[in-house]
A and B are shown apart, each in its own frame.
Chain A
Amino acid sequence: MAVLALMSLLVSVGCGGSPTAPGGAGQQASDADASVTLSDLTAELEGLDPAARRQELIRIAKEEGGVVSFYGSTNPEDVDPVLAAFTKDTGIKVENYRASTSDVLRRIQEEASAGHAGADVVISGRAEYTQLRKSDLLATYTTPVAEQIHDGGVQDDGIDVYRVLRIVLWNTNRIPADQAPKTWEDVFEKYPGELILDPTDWDWFATFTKSYLMGRKGMTEQQALDYWKRVVKNAVVIKGHTLGTQLVTSGENAISAVNYQHGLPPEGAPVEWRPPMWPVIEDSTLISILKNTRRPASALLLTEYFLTDAQPILYEGGRSPANTTAPSAWPKEYDDLTVPIDHSLYEDEGEANRWIALYEEVLRGAGRASK
């Protein structure tokens, strides 16, 4: 019994005072605020041409230690070549922590609340970026490179790296060209039992409902929801876009409403997504610099690299880069079909949770996979 008392003592000592609420960021990290340093830096580098600017940044980065730490929810196939090229071009080493976007967020938050400066640069999805910003963990920065980024892709603390586009995908063996969907109504109503919906796409669901059903079709929110409940009987719920894409590729299901355009199977697979229909809900991943970084110049260097030299490399990986000067997997002729995802969803937790609940309610009426 004495032993157990000793243990509880140890535990309470170990946990320290009062830990912050889970998921929150709690107190300020260290007193380092890179925003200040970064704006000073930008002022210093004003007027230099891109090559000289880079050389100067490399020089300071080497003084900072020659290493930069990068957290991202990115695909190793896409990012490893970028990092290798970066190190080759600049001589700065990169430590890359890779996890799901929500894990990256959690880790950064926990590290920050413990005063640990783990990450310098982070690439994350919009939801997580918003969270980081709300927790006051991001530094503000400006860079001349931002001019090359597509419209709407630049914030004062985060810049788009590549675009994420969600498209409808169908199997050409199961759905021959003459029966291919031409409208969204086709997608939802023409293939009973075959349509795949993914429960993680609540943000797509919200944006689509607002822009198409309520916007173009003029429905009220209630009418839109009724429509959904009617058509969802034709759909099955599959969790995981990878699996969904696989099932369409193999022909197990004929059609999927939401697939990542960069996650398509390779050439030769019997699938098709063109022509896409308006709206193609578009999102992006953003690159940001952590406020408590001790290596602001290295961070800025890597950030700029991602936004310039890396962009063609990302294209080669099948991505649609945010930099307009780089080639893109997303054909330019479809650019006016895209609709940006509703940012307010991330700003307002109440809105977000409301739509999450609505989507869950809708999906409850989904059909079963078997017939």
Chain B
Amino acid sequence: MLEVQNLVKSYPGKKNDPHGRVQAVKGISLTVGQGKMFTMLGPSGCGKTTTLRCIAGLETPDAGEISVAGQCLYSSTQGVRLRAYERGLGMVFQSYAIWPHLNVFRNVSFPLEVTPRRYRPGRKEIKERVERALDVVQLGHLADRQATDLSGGQQQRLALARALVMEPPMLLLDEPLSNLDARLRDAMRFELKRLQRDLGLTAIYVTHDQTEALAMSDSIAVMRDGVIEQIGRPREIYDRPASKFVADFIGISNFIDGVVVGRESSLYEVRTDHGSLFVPALVEPARGSRVSVAIRPEHITLEKGHMELTGANMWHGQVKTRAFLGEAVDHMVMVGGTEVRVRCNPKVSFEEGTEVTLTLDQAMCSITPAD
């Protein structure tokens, strides 16, 4: 449905900036299939919003190709550039951007009313479509209200209805939930996902919240400094981060530095200060290269006392601190000079100073290039 190739976008830098222009997007390519929810995830300044706005037509890229459903929206090589209002894409803004001087109905009917006369639906049809869109987001009973009389969550749904009424081939969402309180955000997450799936909409979602991204997306692109660090399904990203940045950004991770010394079928042996680890790898690190092994705290198990090291990836350590989180207990365990965070079931709780044995789940370790 969406094809982006080699997208580049820069801005004029601040005055007195020796670097001149600021590169916001440095050559991004991605493909999104029909009916999928694709999320761009990353810290602020990573270029995710800029990319979205380029797709929307609100920004003009420096170079690249963008096409939707086979239709070219922007191409620097062919000199094509459709304006935002010609692209027919729906967009939900972070601040909803509903119009305060119109009521709920008029907000939603606006896209239909401004269609060029040739394609414009009649009044009756407009009414039907608007009511339908409002029903979908469950705002049908508020059609006559002034838009400003709605609560935050309702306004967000209104923005959604407005985007949907056009029946666009693709929906763009720019951090739509970040202005809602935590509880509402949770609920809306499910709502949005459900809607997207039920309507079979292709959605491009931008967020800095990794929980949101993991919960809602079919695939995620983790971005940093204008490039995509990794694209993949949520599970992949989470379990097999391709770089330290991705691992760090998505959930919490431990990093243990080492050197690749050997390979045995699909496992690589990484020698660390505390012993070797055997780790599966997506990429193929060269022998002798420096790497970091990433492992999530919840993928390490603890047992009391210094047990015999019977299997691979088992170490001895000592509990330094622990924190009770309600649904889990976090232990900071010193292994030699390295601090390792281990998340345990609440039943497993060791005092400071306890000697423990750690088992790092081999399948859940991943190799990331050392910085």
Q: Is there direct touching of A and B in the complex, by C-beta distance under 8 Å? A: no
* Chain B residues at the A interface, C-beta cutoff of 8 Å: none
* Chain A residues at the B interface, C-beta cutoff of 8 Å: none
